[in-house]
Each structure stands twice: as C-alpha cells, then as structure tokens.
Amino acid sequence: MEEQTLALDRSYPHELPSPRETVEYIKNLRKATVHQTLKQADTRGELLVQPRCGVGAQHKMAELLQFLEREAQPDILSLTIDAYTRLCQFDKAHTVLQENPQNLNGYPLVCHGYKKVRELNELVRAPIEIRHGSPDARLLFESSLAGGITSFEGGGIGYNLPYSKNVPIRSSMQAWRYVDQRCGELAQQGIIVDRELFGTLTAVLIPPSIALSMTLLEALCAVREGVKCLSISYCQGGHIVQDIAALKAIRKMASKYLPPDVEVFPVLHQFMGAFPATRHDAEALILKGAVVAKKGQATKVINKTYEEALGVPTPQANALGIWTTRIVNSAISDFVKVDSAEVDEEVHWILREVEEIVAPILDHADLYRAIEQGFEAGILDIPFSASRYAQSSVLPMRDRSGAIRYHNPGRLCLSEATRRRNTQLLQYTTGSPSFSLFKKLTRDIMYFSNLSLQDVVEVGVSTLTPRGVWP
C-alpha cells in the first residue's frame, strides 16, 4: 500500500453477506460481545487478560485458540493479522497461504473469508478482537464483522505512522473514518463494536502524553462518527509510578474531552520493547506489567510471554503468560504499595502535556484536516516513526528513575513550564561531562534487556522489590 487506499470491493476475494444478515448473525451468536465483557469486568473491578495470537493456516489457528482457552481461559482472544493483509496485499497473502502458510506472520483473514472466521468464533467461548496494524482496514473490518467479531483495534494515526513509510495521514484517517462510521451505524442497530486505539505507537520510549494525545485525537474522530465504546490503550514504559499515572489519566482525559454516553476502558499493553532473554527476568517484567495494570485500574491487559525475546512464543508460553498476569486479580497479590502523591503529580503533568499538545488541533472545525496539518507542521509528532509524514523530531529519554521524559520536544506546543520541568528531570543525566546521546538512547531502549545490577543501582530503576534488594 503506497500513496493511495484501495477501493472497497465487498466481493474480493469472498462475497460478503448483506449488512442486515451480519447484524442478525451477531445478535444470534450465543456469546458475549467484547463490549459486554469489558463493561462487566469494569463494574466488578477485575482485570481482563488477552493474549496475542495469529497463524496462517485455518486448522492451526483453530487449534491455537482452543488450546489457549482450554489451558489458560483468557477473557478475550485475538486474531492477529499477517503483514500482507495489513497492507491490503491480498493476492500475496493468498499465494503464501496456498504454498507455505507457516511463512505468514499472522492470520490472513480476508483471504480465508468471513465463513472461516465464523467457524473460529463458534469454537471458543471468549469473544475475539482483531489486532493488526493496517492504515486501510476497511475490507478487513467488513470481513471481520461478517465473521461475528465485535472488537477492532486501530486508528488513522496509530496504525499508520509506526508501521508505514509512504501512506499519507489523509489517506489513513479517511480509511479509518469509514470504519468508525460503520461502527456508528451498527450502534444504532444495537451492535456495539469496541474500538481499541493503539497508544503503543512505535513502542520505543513513548512519553505518556504523546500516547494519550494520539489516542485522544483518534477518539474524538471516532465519537463524531457515532462510536460508543472505546478501549484506549497505553504501553508499559517501565516506570511503575508513571505507568500507573498514565492509566489513571485515561479516565480523566475521557471525562474531560469525550461525551458522557461513550464508554471508555483503559487498556495496558505489557512492555513492547526489547525483552529480557532470561526466563525469570521476563516473567518478572510480565508480573510488573500486571501490577501496573491493576494499580492503574485498567480494564484489560494484553499479555506478553517469557519467550518474547526469542521470537514467536509457543502456545504453552502464551498460556503461562496469561496465568502469570492473572495473579494480580487475587487479593493476596496486593503486596505493592505506591505513593499516591507521586502518582497524582504524574497524572497532573501528563494531562497538562496532553492539553498543550492537542489544544492547537482542537481549535479547528475540521478535525481530520487539522490532524493532517498538525503532522505537516510538526506540532503533532511521534518519536522514531517509520513514516515520512511524521517529522520524528521529538527525542525522548529516561530520567534517573527510569521515567520517560522529553529531552527534545521538537515543535510540540508545550509550555515553558512543561519544557523546564522535563529539562530539570533529565539534568542529572544530560549534565554529565561524559554524556553521550547515542549511548544514553541505546541504554534507554534496551532498558530491560541488558541492565546489570550496577546499572540499576546507578539509575535507581523502580522494581517490584525494595531498592537494592535483589534475588
């Protein structure tokens, strides 16, 4: 997919049912929707756990979903989509599916067709969400919906800039506008589709206010088209206070900017950066993410596995990751105490930064055009973007506690007070005569994958154990 989006052809490669038949199928499907599952968990204060999973062949996908449900009982399941389908290269996906389906890095849903998706949906108790990374997901959405899927991840910012080089913001925003409009139409017919917004972005040193600003803009676009259920996700950065604060900020942000009839559920993606290679360190990081999700009052967490650093995890490792994460739903696991004043201060500053970033965009009547112009001018930006439509002039960095700050905010419209605070928090690091930007960024990116005990003592990393006490 280059500098255009494809016309939506409902007959390629499989004829889709009528919208009316799709609505009737979902209404008669004997299982809870994702929205119903989220709402029930939120009311009870429980943390839902969802794995990532996606393989090419139909029978292998069915086996994987059934294995995970049997061995780990996830609350929501995933169909993770392959790279060809994400980029609307359906012919290539079809060729690989026929010749070597094991070479696909996910499930080629459009090529399999909606009837195969219904087969998967009816095999398992848990509702299913589509996770992908497509800047133009219109046909994927229609095929998923026809298969009875009631949750669809992505947006015109989060599923373009981190993944694609040559897709204009205007194209992806309009493609995702179609998806949101369809969700609005479905809501009027009694079908609430959960729209999860991908705050993870590039997953490389993303300041919380960048993540929340991007998802807020996507959320505002979605609700204008009639979306009634939003899952706003945030990726674990590694600093327990900052991560808890970011999750708590989501609900406050929603109450300020979004209509009261739109339900919003905070979601945590466990750490998406370079993972520790050793099993006990990886499992400790998974547990830390679960604690953050619970303390931050997230409704759902997307879990990782101890094999994350090694490649695609086995089903067994995936199941164990679910159980490790679910530990925090036990009252016995409430052993981590966090200073509420520190959390509140972080919440305050995260929300202030969000307000400063989005304010120039919200001044415009045409939100879609304002977002496009914002990226052109650099007043909207994300670090380390793959896209030539983002300037990537924002340079983040970890402070001495491990929290992610703005070393260089680029052209973001941050106030002098906000800029001064970030500079002061990084002064201990950047003020050293031996400071090397390259070494510092490398170390920050590889934060959990290669820290030695001496590194941790020097930078004062927050851990689940008391500082200086290590097993």
* ω into 13 cis (within 30 of 0): yes
Q: Which residue has the tokens 């099993």?
A: 279
Cα 270 → chain centroid: 9
Catalytic option among 52, 129, 142, 153: 153
Asked about 15 being catalytic, the answer comes back as: no
CA–CA separation, 1 vs 165, rounded Å?
A: 10
CB atoms within 10 A of CB 188: 9
Quick one: which of 62, 371, 406 has its CA closest to 219? 371
Tokens of 161: 């800039």
Per-residue buried b or exposed e for 166-185, using 16+ beta carbons within 10 Å of the residue's own CB: ebbbbbbbbbbbbbbebbbe
Q: Helix count (H) and strand count (E) of the chain?
A: 18, 10
Asked about 86 being catalytic, the answer comes back as: yes
DSSP 232-275: EEEE--S-HHHHHHHHHHHHHHHHHHS-TTSEEEEEEE---SPP
Nearest-5° angle of CA 259, CA 300, CA 75? Answer: 120
State the pairing for strand pair 404-408/395-398. Answer: antiparallel
Quick one: which of 384, 382, 397 has its CA closest to 431? 397
CA–CA separation, 370 vs 179, rounded Å?
A: 20
Q: Identify whether the C-beta of residue 353 lies closer than 8 Å to the C-beta of residue 359.
A: no
CA–CA separation, 146 vs 26, rounded Å?
A: 8
Catalytic option among 86, 182, 195, 326: 86
Tokens of 198: 């991908």
Catalytic positions, please? 86, 153
